[in-house]
């Protein structure tokens, strides 16, 4: 088995906070056959830990994030978020788990064009039921903490730089106080310096918000700030 951590350890997996994948296999239909995108992948990420998954194009990195985000169901194996087995939940309970425990930063900024930075966070409020004034204060505080000054918080996405938009994405992912933060190629649209600043910010939020953070990246120059680098090759993960 391709084991990065020891899944037989009784203190791991089910009992632990953070993210755990155990023996995960995922395949896609490929003509008459199936293409194996994840091949017996196991992984544990503890609260406050920042893990990078690096590997060539097509090695399975995005598939790994999609399974960890409970957006794709694996053929075999388990995905545990704060000890809860996502595969054992109903669709509705899994959606609630995703909303309450996961923060996701996608490769493409998917900010809404008509909303200001602060509204990008507040629009999530409908489903969370916090009082408006409280929510606004928290949104402003979070945006300031990721380096977006007050004047910029009132701007719409097209009035922000790529790096600033990525900061809004990160603040938005943190708004629901997630335990697990999943980040897909956060620097692909940025130059090296801006990219390094975003990775530095992710390291900082991992520490201060105690998230179990997984970042997928191609860019090996940016891996100095992470706690662990895992290599993905042909659907297999190596620590």
Binding span for ligand ATP by CB under 6 A among 51-59, 116-124, 173-181, 206-214: 51-59
- The helix (H) or strand (E) run that includes residue 24 is strand 19-30
Interface pick for ligand ATP out of 12, 42, 63, 70 (rule CB under 6 A): 63
Smallest separation, CB 69 to ligand ATP (Å)? 12
Q: Which CB, 58 or 83, lies closer to ligand ATP?
A: 58
CA distances from 87 to 15, 30, 75, 225 (A): 16, 24, 10, 32
Size of the site for ligand ATP (CB under 6 A): 11
**Distance between CA 142 and CA 114 in Å, rounded?**
20
Smallest separation, CB 68 to ligand ATP (Å):
12
Position 239 contacts ligand ATP (CB under 6 A): no
> Cβ of residue 58: shortest distance to ligand ATP, in angstroms?
4
CB of 72 to ligand ATP, least distance (A): 9
**Rounded to an integer, what distance in angstroms lies between the CA atom of residue 95 and that of residue 90?**
9
Least distance in Å: CB of 121 to ligand ATP?
A: 27
Among 7, 12, 50, 61, binds ligand ATP (CB under 6 A): 61
Cβ 175 to ligand ATP shortest distance, Å: 26
* 22 touches 51 (CB < 8 A): no
Q: Within positions 26 to 45, which residues make up the interface with ligand ATP, using CB under 6 A?
A: 28, 35, 37
CA–CA separation, 102 and 45 (whole Å): 13
9 or 234: CB nearest ligand ATP: 234
Q: At what angle do helices 192-209 and 162-174 cross, to 10 degrees?
A: 10
Query: 126 is written with which tokens?
Result: 């409908």
Q: Which of 149, 167, 157 is nearest to 115 (CA)?
A: 157
Concatenated DSSP letters of 48-83: T-EEEEE--TTSSHHHHHHHHTTSS--SEEEEEETT
Place of tokens 């402003």: 140
Q: Rounded distance, CA 51 to CA 209, Å?
A: 15
Between 60 and 103, whose beta carbon lies closer to ligand ATP?
60
- Site membership for ligand ATP, residue 217 (CB under 6 A): no
Q: Residue 57 interacts with ligand ATP (CB under 6 A)?
A: yes
| Piece of 39-47, 56-64, 147-155, 203-211 that binds ligand ATP (CB under 6 A) | 56-64
Size of the chain in residues: 239
Residues contributing to the site for ligand ATP (CB under 6 A): 28, 35, 37, 55, 57-63
């Amino acid at each position: 088995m391709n084991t990065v951590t020891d899944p037989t350890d009784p203190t791991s997996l089910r009992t632990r906070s953070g993210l755990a994948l155990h023996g995960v296999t995922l395949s896609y239909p490929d003509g008459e056959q199936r293409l194996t995108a994840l091949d017996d992948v196991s992984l544990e990420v503890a609260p406050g830990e920042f893990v990078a998954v690096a590997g060539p194009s097509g090695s399975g990195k995005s598939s790994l994030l999609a399974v960890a985000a409970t957006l794709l169901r694996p053929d075999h194996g388990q995905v545990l978020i704060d000890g809860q087995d996502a595969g054992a939940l109903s669709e509705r309970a899994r959606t609630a788990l995703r909303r309450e425990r996961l923060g996701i930063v996608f490769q493409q900024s998917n900010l809404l064009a008509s909303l200001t930075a602060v509204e990008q966070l507040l629009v999530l409020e409908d489903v969370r039921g916090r009082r408006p004034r409280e929510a606004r204060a928290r949104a402003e505080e979070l945006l300031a903490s990721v380096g977006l000054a007050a004047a910029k918080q009132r701007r719409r996405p097209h009035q922000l730089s790529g790096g600033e938009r990525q900061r809004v994405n990160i603040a938005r992912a943190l708004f629901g106080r997630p335990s697990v933060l999943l980040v897909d190629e956060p620097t692909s649209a940025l130059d090296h310096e801006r990219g390094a600043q975003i990775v530095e910010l992710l390291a900082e939020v991992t520490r201060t918000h105690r998230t179990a953070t997984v970042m997928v990246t191609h860019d090996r120059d940016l891996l100095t700030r992470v706690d662990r680098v895992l290599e993905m090759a042909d659907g297999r993960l190596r620590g």
